Every structure is written in C-alpha cells, then in structure tokens.
Amino acid sequence: MFQPWFDPEAIAIVLFGTLAATVLRCGIADSRIALVGLRNLFDRPFDVPQAKAELAVQIREIANDGFIRAEPRHFGDNEFDSLSDLIINQRSIQSLHGEHAKFKLARLTHSQTAMRVFESAAELAPVFGLAGTLVALAQAPGSGGQDSSLVGAIAMAVITTLYGLVAANFIFAPLGSAIARRSRREEQDRDEVLAWLEQGIRQTGVAPPHTDGEREAA
C-alpha cells in the first residue's frame, strides 16, 4: 500500500538537492549556525527557576559580605556567569544591561541566521520537487514504450512534486518557525531574570562603590 509513495530516487533529488543548494546559497558558515540552532531545539531550554535559585545565592552573599568580599556565582550559563563576574569585579549594577545587550545581540543574530537558512531551504524544496518531476518525465518512454514504464515515470513525477511540498511545508519552514519561537521565549525569560537580579541586588541595601565612569558622571 505504501510502497508507491516511497521512491529513494525522488527523495535523493529533493532532499539532497535542496540541502546542497541551500549550502551554496547561504554559505557553509551560516549553514553550520543553522545546524546548531536545530540541535538547540532538542536541548533543555533556559530554566528560569534554576537561574533565579543560583543567582539568589549571589544576592545573599552580596547582602551578607558586600561587593568587596562576595565571590562571583557561576552555574554554567555563559551570560549570567559573565554578569556575575562583572557585577562583582566592576561593582556596577548599571553595567549589567550593556553586557546583557551584547549577549542578546549575538543570540538574536545566530537565531535569525538559522531562520534564514531554513527559509531558504523551504523555498528551494519545491523547486527540486519540480526538478524531479522533469527528470521523471524525461525518462518516460516514447509512444512505443511499455505502459508500465510510462506509469512508473508519471508516478515518480507526482511523488517528487509531493516530496518537495512536504519538505518545504512540514520540515524546513516549521523548523525555522520553531527556532524563532525558541529564541523569543529565551529572550523573554532572560530579560525576566535580569530584571529580577537587578531588583534583588538593589533590595539588599548594599550600595556598590562608584566606578570611575559613574564617579565622573556624578
């Protein structure tokens, strides 16, 4: 029943043709970023409760020991590990937002690149479905050929068109959308944790010493 719908040659034309054309269009570097974005979809998302629990220790240490004696709190997240180092070493709450913006820009740039690669693949898949159709029709026998060969060529032509549409609308486009949703959610969560961290530090009542830049501004 399902055998007529499985054609390895049609799959090769549509899938490998689309992947090769996408790499050529977008470049190897951007394609690698897209693969990282795809892999990240299956990783554990940013955990807001865990981040707050870890950073609560940092806030408590600042409240108890002050900025001078408190130690940076690391828990494996590159951004907040860096922010922890920054707030202890520079003793400046204001500098958190500038550092956060750098990490956010880098993440958004990568996610937008990954989305663009998958959008390109979604555009190219139907094209290679049509290419497979033309290949199949070109292989169709002439008027003196067997009916079974003609039917097989027409079947392959239809299947390659179907594969192209399925790959575009059920694989590549949804993956790009999933990366976009994951990126938006992560940025919202990270903004929430940053605001919570800043508020928690201010509520300790421990005023950080002025940095040189803040002293001049004052």
pLDDT at 2: 46
The residue count of the chain comes to 218
Global pTM reads: 0.84
Instruction: Please tell me whether residue 141 adopts helix, strand or coil conformation.
Output: coil
Question: In angstroms, rounded to a whole number, what is the distance separating the alpha carbons of residues 136 and 141?
Answer: 10
Per-residue pLDDT of the chain (218 residues; tens, 9 = 90+): 445 677 888 888 899 999 999 999 999 999 999 999 999 999 999 999 999 999 999 999 988 888 788 889 899 999 999 999 988 888 777 888 999 999 999 999 999 999 999 999 999 999 999 988 888 777 766 555 555 666 667 777 888 999 999 999 999 999 999 999 999 999 999 999 999 999 998 888 765 554 444 444 44
Note the pLDDT of residue 90: 82
Q: Which residues, 6 or more positions from 58, have their beta carbon under 8 angstroms from its beta carbon?
A: 70, 72, 73, 84, 197
What are phi and psi for residue 204, nearest 5 degrees? -70, -25
Q: How many whole angstroms separate alpha carbon 130 and alpha carbon 211? A: 64
For 44, which DSSP code? P
Task: Retrieve residue 142's tokens.
Answer: 């002439």
Instruction: Provide the CA 206 distance to its chain's centre, in angstroms.
Output: 38
Q: Is the dihedral of CA 148, 154, 157, 160 positive or negative?
A: negative
Is residue 136 within 8 A of residue 157, CB to CB? The reply is yes
